[in-house]
Amino acid sequence: MTRTEDKAPPAGALNGRMLMVAVVSAISGLLYGYDTGIISGGLLQIAKEFHIGNGMKEMIAAAILLGAVIGALACSLLSERIGRHRTILMICVVFVLGSLASSLAPTAVGLALARVLLGFAVGGATQTVPMYVAELAPKSIRGRLVLCFQLAIGVGIVVATLVGASEAISWREAIGAAAAPALVMLLLQLHLPESPRWLVLRFGRGRAEEAQKVLYRLRPDGYDISSELEEIVALEGRQQRTSTDNRGWSGLRQPWVRPALAVGCGIAVFTQLSGIEMIIYYAPTILTDNGFSKTTALWVSVALGTVYLVMMVVGLITVDRVGRRRLTLVMVPGAALSL
């Protein structure tokens, strides 16, 4: 039996490299959740060590979000120009450097600047890793592999709150510990190939043979490589025929795109304005400022992170059954009422 025969392996079959892709996706999501959530308990120790007020606390907490905006925009461009693979390698290095720089920061200002660097990796991973995974995965398991990233974010937040609530290690050790999984992610990514879709879309049909070799490495024996490659080449052809006015930023001005753009941006803005980031970052600070003990405040933060993870799982389970639109119409008014 050859790889291009019609008989395909059972749905969801994975070989070693696709399993490695899933692990990379999970680690990047874990780092996202951990690096954003670890500041929650850490702020109590940081404020005491550096003798800072609320204004500086806000700068330290928000620095990672500033870096994430820069990272998402920059890595969006980089992933198109130099490829998804090399962009993710760079993100892994920044994760390591950002974690170590944050843990060794001598001042509060230095910590804020280091967290901007760390945020660059967070934003870059959010932009690049799910796209890379989706382009490498076969259709039968594509959705599940992309969901690994989303679920890992929630797991990372819970792990971060548990580390803070244990009160067993200092904030420097807690933040610096993220360098270890980032290094593992880097080592795994070194053994992964470039996206076959990027090779064809970037360089045209001349790189179709190289894309085919990548697919051979990613797919289990007996998988129909030819039909998947034809689909990638056909997509490249359609994109070449698309006018320049309908691509990139200019394409967002098309009348038919505007409603989806407004809804997409609106949901993202509403999610942030609802206060989820504030709760993740400041729950222990808010509770201790209002008379609760430090231990109680940290364990409440664990409970909040756990609810966040559980409801993320519920949403992922129900979204395909209920539908995106219906779930949104129920959840947005529900969030407004809870506020």
| Tokens 């222990």 found at | 284
Question: Taking all residues of the chain, what is their mean pLDDT, rounded to a whole number?
Answer: 86
pLDDT higher than threshold 80 for residue 242? no
pLDDT computed for residue 143 by the predictor: 76
CB 220 within 8 A of CB 133: no
Q: pLDDT digit string (tens) for 274-319?
A: 888 888 888 999 899 999 999 999 999 999 999 989 988 888 888 7
Q: Do 162 and 205 fall into the same domain? A: no
For residue 221, pLDDT over 80 is answered with no
- Give the residue from 151, 112, 114 showing the smallest Cα distance to 26: 151
Query: pLDDT tens-digit profile of 245-282?
Result: 566 667 777 888 888 888 888 888 887 888 888 888 88
Q: What is the pLDDT of residue 324?
A: 78
- Establish if 155 belongs to a structural domain: yes
- Is residue 172 located within the same domain as residue 107? yes
pLDDT tens for 3-19 read 444 444 444 456 778 88
Based on C-alpha coordinates, what's the Rg of the chain?
Answer: 22
Distance separating alpha carbons of residues 107 and 59, to the nearest angstrom = 13
Q: Minimal CA–CA distance to 294: which of 167, 206, 162?
A: 167
In a domain, 271, yes or no: yes
- Helix axis angle, 54-81 to 84-103, nearest 10°: 160
39 lies in the same domain as 124: yes
Which residues, 6+ apart, have CB-to-CB distance to 184 below 8 Å?
27
Determine, yes or no, domain membership for 46: yes
Q: What percent of the chain has pLDDT over 90?
A: 51
List, for residues 126-166, the tens digit of each pLDDT value: 999 999 998 998 877 777 787 888 899 999 999 999 999 98
pLDDT for 97 equals: 98
Tell me, what's the pLDDT at 247? 62
Token output for 207: 């790189």
Q: Please indicate, yes or no, if residue 246 is contained in any of the structural domains.
A: no
Q: What is the predicted pLDDT for the residue at 241?
A: 65
CB atoms within 10 A of CB 226: 15
Same domain, 135 and 284: yes
- As for how many domains the chain has, the answer is 2
> pTM of the predicted model, to two decimals?
0.85
Model confidence at 337, pLDDT cuts 50, 70, 90, reads confident
Domain that includes residue 152, residue range: 16-192+259-338
Q: Can you tell me the mean pLDDT for 169-194?
A: 96
Burial category of 162 from C-beta neighbours within 10 Å (exposed 0-12, middle 13-18, buried 19 and up): middle
What's the rounded Cα separation, in Å, for the pair 81 and 299?
45
Taking CA atoms, 197 is separated from 24, 129, 143, 146, 200, in Å, by 19, 14, 17, 16, 5
Asked if residue 293 and residue 146 are part of one domain, the reply reads yes
In a shared domain, residues 159 and 116 = yes
pLDDT for 240 equals 65
CA-based angle 55:60:61, to the nearest 5?
A: 95
172 part of a folded domain: yes
Coil, strand or helix: which one is 236?
Answer: helix
Tens-place pLDDT, residues 39-69: 999 999 999 999 999 999 999 999 999 999 9
Question: Does 207 lie in the same domain as 132?
Answer: no
Q: pLDDT value at position 4?
A: 41
Region of 192 on the Ramachandran plot (φ > 0 left; ψ -120 to 50 alpha; else beta) = beta
Last residue of a domain, one of 239, 270, 297: 239
Closest to 177 in 3D by CA, of 102, 71, 67, 123:
102
CA distance 145 to 136: 10
The pLDDT tens digits of the residues spanning 82-137 come to: 999 999 999 999 999 999 999 999 999 999 999 999 999 999 999 999 999 989 98
Query: Quick one: what percent of the chain has pLDDT higher than 70?
Result: 91
Neighbours of 99 (CB within 10 A): 28
Q: Would 4 be classed as within a structural domain?
A: no
Query: Is there a single domain that holds both residue 220 and residue 281?
Result: no
Which of 176, 210, 239 represents a domain boundary (last residue)?
239
Residue 228 has pLDDT above 90, yes or no: no
Residue where one domain finishes, among candidates 239, 268, 299: 239
